[in-house]
Amino acid sequence: MSLPAGLTAAVLASAGLTGTGTAQASQTSQPSQASRSTQASQPTQPPPVKHPAPTIGATAIPRHALTGYWQNFDNGATVQKLKDVDDAYDIIAVSFAEATGQPGAVAFRLDPAVGYASTDAFKADIKAKQAAGKSVILSVGGERGAVSVNDAASAKNFADSVSGLMDEYGFNGVDIDLENGLNSAYMTQALKAVHERHADVVVTMAPQTIDMQSPQNEYFKTALGIKDFLTAVNMQYYNSGSMNGCDGKVYAQGTVEFLTALACIQLAGGLAPSQVGIGVPASARAAGGGYAAPSVVNAALDCLTRGSNCGSFKPAKTYPGLRGAMTWSTNWDAANGNAFATQVGGHVHGLP
């Protein structure tokens, strides 16, 4: 479901973006884009604390990175262990941590369907990926995720549980994939608390397209609130129908223009190029709509970083530091012959 063009254009105009030249879940379909962020009263926030740039432990995130979600369940895609994930993936998001009975807290349990004989074997695979220069993070939420962080207590519970899982499993960080509403003030508070405990934390986000149409949206405000340590926003450029780009025009999903004109919103709205990635399904089977062939994704990457292969929309400037691309999922990619890892991964790693 998409917003009416007039309404979206009005939102963009109010944000000062009009005329500027912005994972799939645990099942095979995504919810509609109609979900809204919680509009709770916001607490007074102290001035942001500046932190040194994260070192990611002994592993640095590449200038241009490929991110893939790894499924801790079997939904018809190729079942993998972490060690089976294609080497092209620089960041692997383990999907998903889920809500517990304690507000804001999350837990992670290995699904027997993925074939691990023990938790220790899973942890060993995490370490092996890290030894190969990869970052393995824990994704929170998904399509059916019901994690709610909307007050100080739940923010603390979220930070405590995420930090505990990072320590227990050795995860490099956390991915926020909450598709049923998000409170920017308290999620920002929670993520800053995680960062205080793990200065090298990798933090990624996978908002739906509707969540990043304006810097006034809760997801966008969260990204800006943690900009000093945010790794990347890999928006889901799919399952949304047509949406407005930063020029106020409507673009159809699955096209080069859709990818570039929506990325432009994020770039014009305050995120650094290194914090913007293009998230797409690994195959037509991986999402309900919006699949873009590797050639389309690569053209969009070229347009944003080099100003070439743009189609009908061309940004007013280029962004050579663009982070890269993301896909749902490594499992669906494996089922499709690892075409995304091979074609898009190779292209990402060859960007300027």
Backbone angles phi, psi at 106, to 5 degrees: -130, 155
Rounded Cα distance between 106 and 199, Å, is: 21
Tell me what pLDDT residue 156 has: 98
Query: Is 179 a catalytic site residue?
Result: yes
Backbone angles phi, psi at 347, to 5 degrees: -70, -45
User: Confidence band (pLDDT; 50, 70, 90) for 243?
Assistant: very high
How is residue 308 written in tokens?
């070439």
- What is the CB neighbour count within 10 angstroms for residue 51? 12
Tell me what pLDDT residue 179 has: 79
Rounded Cα distance between 132 and 109, Å, is: 24
How is residue 278 written in tokens?
């293009």
Higher pLDDT, 19 or 76: 76
For all residues of the chain together, what is the average pLDDT? 86
How is residue 268 written in tokens?
């014009």
Tell me what pLDDT residue 36 has: 27
User: Confidence band (pLDDT; 50, 70, 90) for 111?
Assistant: very high
User: What average pLDDT does range 177-199 have in this prediction?
Assistant: 95
User: What average pLDDT does range 270-298 have in this prediction?
Assistant: 97
Rounded Cα distance between 188 and 304, Å, is: 28
- Is a pLDDT exceeding 60 seen at residue 84? yes
Rounded Cα distance between 172 and 91, Å, is: 9
User: What average pLDDT does range 279-285 have in this prediction?
Assistant: 97
Find the range with the poorest average confidence among 69-73, 93-97, 178-182: 178-182
Tell me what pLDDT residue 181 has: 82
User: What average pLDDT does range 230-245 have in this prediction?
Assistant: 97
- Is a pLDDT exceeding 80 seen at residue 250? yes
Among the listed residues 143, 179, 218, 257, the single catalytic one is 179
Tell me what pLDDT residue 144 has: 67
- Is a pLDDT exceeding 50 seen at residue 253? yes
User: What average pLDDT does range 179-206 have in this prediction?
Assistant: 96
User: What average pLDDT does range 18-23 have in this prediction?
Assistant: 32
- Is a pLDDT exceeding 60 seen at residue 325? yes
Tell me what pLDDT residue 10 has: 36
Tell me what pLDDT residue 178 has: 92
Q: Do 183 and 218 meet the contact criterion of CB atoms below 8 Å apart?
A: yes
Rounded Cα distance between 259 and 300, Å, is: 6
Higher pLDDT, 115 or 36: 115
- Is a pLDDT exceeding 90 seen at residue 251? yes
Tell me what pLDDT residue 16 has: 36
Residue environment code for 259-292, b if the CB has 16+ CB neighbours within 10 A, otherwise e: bbbbbbbbbbbebebbbbbbbbbbbeebbbebbb
